[in-house]
Structure 1
Amino acid sequence: MSKDPYNVKKSLEIQDKDFDYFSLTALKNQGHPIEKLPYSIRILLENVLRNFDDFAVTKAHIETLLHWKPDTTGEDIPFKPARVLMQDFTGVPAVVDIAALRAEVDRKGGDAQKINPMIPVDLIVDHSVQVDYFGTNYAYERNMEEEYKRNVERYTFLKWAKKAFKNFSVVPPGMGICHQVNLEYLAQGVTTRDGQIFPDTLVGTDSHTPMVNGIGVVGWGVGGIEAEAALLGQPIYFIMPQVVGLKLTGKLPLGSTATDLVLQIAHALRKHGVVGKFVEVFGPGLDHLSVPDRATIGNMSPEFGCTVTYFPIDDKTLDYMRKTNRAEDHVKLVETYCKTNMLWRENSEAITYSSVVELDVSKIEPTVAGPKRPQDKILLKDFKPKFIDLLQESFGRSYITMDDREEKESLARWKAEGGNQPVQPSKDDDKANNDREEVTIEKDDKNLRTVWINHGHDKFELSDGSVVIAAITSCTNTSNPFVMIGAGLVARKARERGIDVKPWVKTSFAPGSKVVTDYMKKADLMTDLEALDFHLVGYGCTSCIGNSGPLPPKIREAIDDYDLVVASVLSGNRNFEARVHPKVKMNFLMSPMLVVAYALAGRVDVDLINDPISYDRNREPVYLKDIWPSNDEINEIMAKVLTPGDYDKNYGEIFEGNEIWRNLEVPDDKLYQWDAKSSYIKEIPFFKDISEQPKNFQNIEAAKALLVLGDSITTDHISPAGAFSQDSAAGKYLVQQGVDANDFNSYGSRRGNDEVMVRGTFANVRIKNQLVDKEGGFTQHIPSGEEMTVYDAAQKYRENNTPLIVLAGKEYGSGSSRDWAAKGTFLLGIKSVLAESYERIHRSNLVGLGVLPLQYKEGDSAKSLGLTGKENFSITGIAEGLTPQKELHVVAENDKGDKTEFKVMARLDSEIEIDYYQNDGILQYVLRQFLDEEKH
């Protein structure tokens, strides 16, 4: 059969070069209304036309996309991305899997060297740097040294992989954040390969991959398992998406930023409901948004719940490509191809969307989000009263106002205690004060916890609402020069007014690319940020991924001893419970400019619109409006300091790394030599001695619930990324292996070791399992009634071959595209998860690991059905065979013999997912296919 069933393969000459391409215009000329299709659907259509083989990609798939309808539901389509993006937390376990596949192929007598990525893979090491040092000019170098000390084994492994695999590159540590590097350098808009020209597309092993949507590239986050399948040549199958049109009108007003806009969009789209859908932006307001503004919005697609937030290519895209040093020949190629093939933004009003959300950008106000979900928008003007309400609602705390405090106490403290000013000791006391820290407690009758801390020469007050972390972090905002220069100007104006960051605030500046520090230095704004202790701490995700590092000891002690509800402020995209720091219970997302402002205030219970942010040395009030820059000031500096040369310089050396990286010695072996003593890298057990044929389908009989969970359980709850204690199951394991607690590193860095990660599954210190009364990774072993860690309970159940399930509520698995959240689930012996609804990536990851995701019928839940989680569960209808979204029967029997029976939907959404489930996972499916081909 022809590889071009619609006869639309054409030739296009661009700058004296001929390329083959699959013409959407030719389809239109055949009578298909392509002009009514959203641009993102057009790109998927081009993808199936070009990859048609009548096996994995069929004519039926083309017809499905060609006849896309706004209310489309249920149809299955394939996607073969042009490339794959990885970061190190998800990349290391993915490379472990590929190395393990090679090992099993070799054991089976096959040619292991044939196991290679079939499309380009770029892995960027950005998730491992931790803020151990801050507020000093040596912080960056010291943090890099610590990063290599902790992770040299992982980095040696990655450098081996770069050498051993084809189509695999590694950007070493300290060079940038994967999404910002992707936006500024890797993304091409349009790509050419083997004489063909087609749209640049990708999947990434990080949920914020849609940041690249801002430059007109269709790409989204997937689990590491799906990404591995894609790089091994498998299509990614998913349900045909509905496309929600986001119509923007107006222009951002003075005082509002792209960060404020994206937090409003997150709130609006969550309310509208876009989970599993595409969002496509159109309208006249788009003309006023730069690519960095668009990328800020695209970045937070997973916070909206959608798969992509797509911005079609237009003149703004080309302008950004030129500014970021893309070759002019390539810019012309992008323009010519897109205009030729109906992928250039024009006449968007003719497109039919599934639904439309309209937003007047001119009405955007300064905004923050929190304290534990990105979509929980709070207008800046309402932040103080909202904080007071949250303190009461979430923590049962009464609140004494700052006004009351100041009236009763501030003058006395100013004179007698020194307030926040340095207390000048005598020379004889100087050494003693530096060596001694004291913590005292004052409790008022309204139960506000107030801790006074003597720290060297400083004496300061810590209480509910104090800001202990202020982080300019994350690719979400550090890729946007407008808000970064704005933050520098806030710092400059604060210095000019004589106010400083409060001494209890841990500050950090962690941009996503070295280009940022270059232009900030050119503008002399780094000097101003550093004067407020916002020194460079690293080029990586830092606080946004949970690598905030330790709090100063006495601050940590005060929080622990007096149960303080302190806060972090960060310019990131994630603020889930215990993610930023396990000691910090309230976390608020905001622009870099507001991060600086709240570091100056030192508290979140301040009305920055009307009240002073601080006082100068003369006790004159300084307001936010006094230090807020105008748009003209920011734009004037941007025009002077942003040049293509900065991008050329930094990206010209991006693969080199520092001296430590260059000196890492790696073997030439094509098979990785697993070290039994390693606590970082182990061969994962999934593939060892794999059978030639998959298992038969089996019902799940007499299962026990390992956990009963509520709504909005994130992948951070399921598989935390941050630090862990020696009292945890993972910590005890490492201690038994001879690892000192100081060398534990983080869960994220240990993802190459399944023994650590399975013990860390459901081990988040804030997870709330309804089978026990306390927070953390604990459960009840139902037969004995004994409370223990989730891991220990799973082992006891394994001794009796008891299958396990998890009961959950809505939005199960939201958050990061964390494959270990599914891998750990599988390795604990969990056969099925039963939830009210799933976030897209985690449901797919569960299938990719052979765990059956079940969904209650509309209106049903554990609560409505009266389930406690202590029943015996039997799930039938599996053994007879499965079809996409088949209805199954569940019987829950309690200890009295009473039965509750109900129907559920098997969330295996396509035929290929059924095959993945039967094979115990997608990689086992690929491996069996490869071994079968080798045999024949």
Structure 2
Amino acid sequence: MKRSEFLKTIDIQGKTFQYYDITQLESQGIANISRLPFSIRVLVENLLRKMDDDVVKELDLLNICNWQPTYEDPVEIPHHPARVLMQDFTGVPAVVDLAAMRDAVKVAGGDPSAINPLIPVELIVDHSVQLDYHGTQNALTQNVAKEYQRNIERYELLKWAQKSFDNFKVVPPNSGICHQVNLEYLARVMVQAKEKESTLLYPDSLVGTDSHTTMINGIGVMGWGVGGIEAEAVMLGQPYVMSIPEVIGVKLVNALKPGVSATDLVLTITQKLRELNVVEKFVEFFGPGMKALGATDRATIANMGPEYGATMGFFPVDEKTIEYLRMTNREEQADITEACARANGLFYTGDENIEYSNVVEVDLSTVVPCLAGPARPQDRIVLDEIEDAFNALLNCDHERDTHMDHISQFLDESGCVSSRETSCEPTGKRLVTVNMNGREVKLGDGSIVIAAITSCTNTSNPAGLIGAGLLARNAVKMGLTTPAHVKTSLAPGSKVVLDYLESAGLMPYFEALGFHVAGFGCTTCIGNSGPLAPAIEHAIQDNDLTVASVLSGNRNFEARIHQSIKGNFLASPMLVVAFAMAGRIDVNLVNRPIAMDPNGNPVYLEDIWPKQNEIDALVEKHVKSEQFAARYATIFEGDTFWQELKIADSLTFDWKPDSTYIKNPPYFEGFSPELSPSRDIEGAKALLVVGDSVTTDHISPAGAIPEKYPAGKYLIERNVAKEDFNSYGSRRGNHEVMMRGTFGNIRIKNNLVTPEEGSFTRKFPEDEKMFVFDAAARYGQEKTPLVVLGGKEYGTGSSRDWAAKGSNLLGVKAVIARSYERIHRSNLVGMGVLPLQFKASDSWETLGLDGSETFSIQGIKDIAPQKMLAVTAVKGEKKITFEVLARLNTDIDVKYFHNGGILPYVLRKLIK
């Protein structure tokens, strides 16, 4: 089979293009393409186009175009994404790694310019702005100024990279959220690539260093989150080697009822698909109900793929995609996308007869308004049950319904039952009086202290934001306000949002309720909610109050939104505004009033809820392609802060020895171009023993740096004031901070120190309690290898490469868990840490392990994909032996592991 046989020509609007026609595989009798899910068809095109009988062989193409609904054994394929998307939290360490690789090549006598992205890389600075200021007209300007003050070293690095690397673009701060900018501007949907004298068309695809890269699936673009180290390998020309996935078809039928939002739908889908376990699978939406959803509603659903556990939630290209491209000022792309997708069997009509691994039906007409919380996105609560749910959470209602039992105890960041106990009496909730700027404010269990319209999930959806603005308008006209204890903020995902809200005349009403624009970035959703008022903070801490946040985001793990808030609830922008005015989460807004008007009359939610036809009319009138054209014409130029950064041209980066943000990492110290053989692990000790659903936030928190923890002490020793600590996420370019922050979440529960929570462990054989970092350092001095024992879903949550990098630098050689989240497993392999899995019936509990044992792991030298290894755990005269599965899933995983990770593997290839 020759690739050239499938190269076809197409004329679009008077221009001639070429494309690789996958339908010819069917007409030639090679494969039945028309039965394949659209997501698999995109992979078929990718392998057909890249088939070179070297990296991509004919067998790889045959394997994917003869896709099977289930596979007994994994079948791997080499996928070549068209581009890489980054945000600054994960992008900065990736740039640091590339700069370090240039140094390593230079030391080895090579050409540093060989370290250069080979495919387009786009980095959007969106994760660093914090809400130090809110509720005023100048809050945005103040927050951006503070952002640059904190992050100038990081931004200098990024501007250097933009000037020094080919194929590398940076969208500067104060521009928007990476996934929304990707959706509204960067996405090609159909790529145009110059090849000699012709232009080749092919489907856009990407990997991103953020879990919610999946948002782009809403307009038919294949993309998902990967670790920063995997993204670096793709940048440097390596294929993304993946196992052929199962594809779960989600058939959407009927339509949403008036008053039901896309947020309500995605929370319903998240709960349903989590129960079905779609981890490491593709989810593909189809059916008549899909046609009733516009591109931005689809993007809302696709965004939360990580929350329902799928690799991606894919909506194939159809007429809604084309409409969206036209609305966002991409007329030529709309024409090209429609013509090429139709010609190549990639355009969904609804008449297809597709084979899926399994089919799930979701009736849109049954969706009702809801929230999710208090600690996991899949824990959906119907709106009229939130009062009972919160009372059950507090154990204040002894007659709660049985369906609320699963949240009847305090839940930690991952959703696990926490060891904390409430002092709440069955008869009621605690209530205290707080003096805020001379005003007496009542604060108690259930009080909302943060209400944030934020996140790529919802601020990309004009209907959701215009709906929230109309609700605010109606409320203000009835005299409603927001209680003083609620910190309100509006953080749009792009500046186009502000344009259409101002055009519709809705911003004055948002601002009347305190929802002033406070930043263009992730803000509260990533944990950058900023400080609470000191009086509020003290009242919460002194009285151990269980207060709440409500946000239009996608993640609500405890200690992520704010370390003092135990109950965090996801909701639509409209419900965020409503609950902000109510001031409490424990109120049934279906039956109880939100508040009283100035005349003492109750105002109910139904009194201010906007009509769907009014929302639709304002979207139609005020969301215009001209707004997208104007905002994105200068997107890479940045504001005056960015333009004033002075950066010298240089091939290698000028590291500053006294920097506390950017340091040359030690990954290549002692690097040898020659590969040393892997060895069995002998005499290892357990650094931590943890339970189920340990998240990457537990392993590598992104938020505040506690002053008394090792990272805080490190900064203080270098004369960094506590108010200048910034966050773990912002300091990911400094391995010294991040090593000290590994397993540093204040809520992590290590069974070696139960019931205490936080970054503590026991050092053996002394059996001495200390910080995890300090114990790891002592073990390192003794040359003792380390292991971590875990439960189910180890590493769930955000795509966070430092969760693997930190583990590596602490000396962790292997993790033994019951199951892994897809990205974190891959990240561990990418850093040379061996992910091992207990047999189905085993766990550290059932085997009788307590973490004080000494561990040996045999069979590593000749390790192969999915090989069973033998583990021996010895404690005194007691010896426990058991088998574990090596979660090196593919041959390339094995190569990465033997090389000590992806970066040394790529570096060795480049040097050779």
**Are 1:252 and 2:252 counterparts?**
no
Whole-angstrom CA distance in 2 between matches of 1:757 and 1:3:
49
Q: When the two structures are superposed, what TM-score results if normalisation uses the length of structure 1?
A: 0.93
After TM superposition, give the deviation of residue 47 of structure 1 in Å: 0.6
Letter paired with 2:891: E
**Are 1:388 and 2:388 counterparts?**
no
Q: Which moved more, 1:152-161 or 1:779-788?
A: 779-788
User: For residue 834 of structure 1, what is the aligned residue in structure 2?
Assistant: 816
User: For residue 123 of structure 2, what is the aligned residue in structure 1?
Assistant: 123
Alpha-carbon displacement from aligned partner over 1:492-526 (angstroms, at most 9, x marks no partner): 11111111111100000001000001100111111
Structure 1 counterpart SS, 2:666: coil
User: For residue 795 of structure 1, what is the aligned residue in structure 2?
Assistant: 777
Change (3 A) 1:115 1:444: closer
User: For residue 923 of structure 1, what is the aligned residue in structure 2?
Assistant: 903
User: For residue 509 of structure 1, what is the aligned residue in structure 2?
Assistant: 490
User: For residue 753 of structure 1, what is the aligned residue in structure 2?
Assistant: 734
After TM superposition, give the deviation of residue 158 of structure 1 in Å: 0.5
Structure 2 counterpart SS, 1:805: strand
Please say if residues 245 and 281 of structure 2, whose CA atoms lie closer than 8 Å, have aligned partners that are also in contact: yes
After TM superposition, give the deviation of residue 347 of structure 1 in Å: 4.1
Letter paired with 2:37: P
Structure 1 counterpart SS, 2:769: strand
After TM superposition, give the deviation of residue 68 of structure 1 in Å: 0.5
Residue correspondence of structure 1 range 405-420 to structure 2 within 5 A: none
Alpha-carbon displacement from aligned partner over 1:441-467 (angstroms, at most 9, x marks no partner): x99784632111122342221111110
User: For residue 627 of structure 1, what is the aligned residue in structure 2?
Assistant: 608
User: For residue 165 of structure 1, what is the aligned residue in structure 2?
Assistant: 165
Structure 1 counterpart SS, 2:359: strand
Structure 1 counterpart SS, 2:394: helix
Whole-angstrom CA distance in 2 between matches of 1:146 and 1:347:
50
Whole-angstrom CA distance in 2 between matches of 1:104 and 1:444:
62
The one of 402, 416, 434 aligned to 1:453: 434
Letter paired with 2:53: D
Whole-angstrom CA distance in 1 between matches of 2:472 and 2:343:
47
After TM superposition, give the deviation of residue 382 of structure 1 in Å: 1.1
User: For residue 34 of structure 1, what is the aligned residue in structure 2?
Assistant: 33
After TM superposition, give the deviation of residue 9 of structure 1 in Å: 2.3
Structure 1 counterpart SS, 2:3: coil
Change (3 A) 1:780 1:348: farther
Please say if residues 399 and 446 of structure 1, whose CA atoms lie closer than 8 Å, have aligned partners that are also in contact: no
Letter paired with 1:917: F
User: For residue 410 of structure 2, what is the aligned residue in structure 1?
Assistant: none
**Are 1:330 and 2:333 counterparts?**
yes
User: For residue 219 of structure 1, what is the aligned residue in structure 2?
Assistant: 223
**Are 1:820 and 2:787 counterparts?**
no
Structure 2 counterpart SS, 1:350: coil
**Are 1:488 and 2:473 counterparts?**
no
Q: When the two structures are superposed, what TM-score results if normalisation uses the length of structure 2?
A: 0.95
Letter paired with 1:709: V
After TM superposition, give the deviation of residue 10 of structure 1 in Å: 2.4
After TM superposition, give the deviation of residue 398 of structure 1 in Å: 6.6
**Are 1:378 and 2:381 counterparts?**
yes
Residue correspondence of structure 1 range 459-538 to structure 2 within 5 A: 459-538=440-519
Q: Which moved more, 1:117-126 or 1:686-695?
A: 686-695
After TM superposition, give the deviation of residue 664 of structure 1 in Å: 0.5
Residue correspondence of structure 1 range 612-691 to structure 2 within 5 A: 612-691=593-672
Letter paired with 1:816: S
Alpha-carbon displacement from aligned partner over 1:806-861 (angstroms, at most 9, x marks no partner): 11111111111110010001000000011111111000000000000001111211
Whole-angstrom CA distance in 2 between matches of 1:702 and 1:8:
57
Structure 2 counterpart SS, 1:86: strand
After TM superposition, give the deviation of residue 50 of structure 1 in Å: 0.9
Alpha-carbon displacement from aligned partner over 1:579-616 (angstroms, at most 9, x marks no partner): 00011011000100000111011111101110111111
**Are 1:17 and 2:21 counterparts?**
no
After TM superposition, give the deviation of residue 399 of structure 1 in Å: 8.6
After TM superposition, give the deviation of residue 725 of structure 1 in Å: 2.1
Letter paired with 1:487: A
**Are 1:192 and 2:192 counterparts?**
yes
Alpha-carbon displacement from aligned partner over 1:217-247 (angstroms, at most 9, x marks no partner): 0011100001000010000111110000010
After TM superposition, give the deviation of residue 893 of structure 1 in Å: 1.6
Change (3 A) 1:340 1:138: same
**Are 1:786 and 2:768 counterparts?**
yes
User: For residue 575 of structure 2, what is the aligned residue in structure 1?
Assistant: 594
After TM superposition, give the deviation of residue 900 of structure 1 in Å: 1.6
Whole-angstrom CA distance in 2 between matches of 1:311 and 1:917:
35
Structure 1 counterpart SS, 2:307: helix
Unaligned 5+ segments in structure 1 are 402-441
After TM superposition, give the deviation of residue 728 of structure 1 in Å: 1.0
Whole-angstrom CA distance in 2 between matches of 1:196 and 1:565:
58
Structure 2 counterpart SS, 1:20: strand
Please say if residues 122 and 168 of structure 2, whose CA atoms lie closer than 8 Å, have aligned partners that are also in contact: yes
User: For residue 272 of structure 1, what is the aligned residue in structure 2?
Assistant: 276
Please say if residues 282 and 348 of structure 1, whose CA atoms lie closer than 8 Å, have aligned partners that are also in contact: no
After TM superposition, give the deviation of residue 743 of structure 1 in Å: 1.1
User: For residue 878 of structure 2, what is the aligned residue in structure 1?
Assistant: 898
The two structures, once aligned, show a CA RMSD in angstroms of 1.4
User: For residue 49 of structure 2, what is the aligned residue in structure 1?
Assistant: 50
User: For residue 94 of structure 2, what is the aligned residue in structure 1?
Assistant: 94
Please say if residues 325 and 333 of structure 2, whose CA atoms lie closer than 8 Å, have aligned partners that are also in contact: no
Whole-angstrom CA distance in 2 between matches of 1:100 and 1:890:
36
After TM superposition, give the deviation of residue 478 of structure 1 in Å: 0.2
**Are 1:811 and 2:815 counterparts?**
no
After TM superposition, give the deviation of residue 259 of structure 1 in Å: 0.1
User: For residue 309 of structure 1, what is the aligned residue in structure 2?
Assistant: 313
Alpha-carbon displacement from aligned partner over 1:347-406 (angstroms, at most 9, x marks no partner): 4551000001100001100010011110111111111111111122xxxx67999xxxxx
Alpha-carbon displacement from aligned partner over 1:462-493 (angstroms, at most 9, x marks no partner): 11111000000001000000010011111111
Change (3 A) 1:400 1:251: closer
Letter paired with 2:437: G
Letter paired with 1:17: K
**Are 1:134 and 2:134 counterparts?**
yes
Whole-angstrom CA distance in 1 between matches of 2:874 and 2:352:
56
Structure 1 counterpart SS, 2:668: coil
Alpha-carbon displacement from aligned partner over 1:142-199 (angstroms, at most 9, x marks no partner): 0000000000111011001100000000000000000000000011110111231100
**Are 1:350 and 2:353 counterparts?**
yes
Whole-angstrom CA distance in 2 between matches of 1:571 and 1:447:
29
User: For residue 770 of structure 1, what is the aligned residue in structure 2?
Assistant: 751
Whole-angstrom CA distance in 1 between matches of 2:147 and 2:486:
23
Letter paired with 1:385: D
User: For residue 865 of structure 1, what is the aligned residue in structure 2?
Assistant: 847
User: For residue 241 of structure 2, what is the aligned residue in structure 1?
Assistant: 237
Structure 2 counterpart SS, 1:156: helix
Whole-angstrom CA distance in 1 between matches of 2:688 and 2:425:
40
Please say if residues 131 and 542 of structure 1, whose CA atoms lie closer than 8 Å, have aligned partners that are also in contact: yes
Please say if residues 377 and 554 of structure 2, whose CA atoms lie closer than 8 Å, have aligned partners that are also in contact: yes
Please say if residues 35 and 351 of structure 1, whose CA atoms lie closer than 8 Å, have aligned partners that are also in contact: yes
Whole-angstrom CA distance in 2 between matches of 1:128 and 1:885:
39
User: For residue 888 of structure 1, what is the aligned residue in structure 2?
Assistant: 869
Moved segments of 4+, more than 6 Å: 398-401, 442-445
**Are 1:318 and 2:322 counterparts?**
yes
After TM superposition, give the deviation of residue 30 of structure 1 in Å: 1.2
Please say if residues 569 and 595 of structure 1, whose CA atoms lie closer than 8 Å, have aligned partners that are also in contact: yes
Q: Which moved more, 1:692-701 or 1:593-602?
A: 692-701
Whole-angstrom CA distance in 2 between matches of 1:899 and 1:382:
51
**Are 1:560 and 2:545 counterparts?**
no
User: For residue 427 of structure 1, what is the aligned residue in structure 2?
Assistant: none
Whole-angstrom CA distance in 2 between matches of 1:701 and 1:18:
63
After TM superposition, give the deviation of residue 671 of structure 1 in Å: 0.7
User: For residue 420 of structure 2, what is the aligned residue in structure 1?
Assistant: none
Change (3 A) 1:400 1:285: closer
Whole-angstrom CA distance in 2 between matches of 1:448 and 1:214:
43
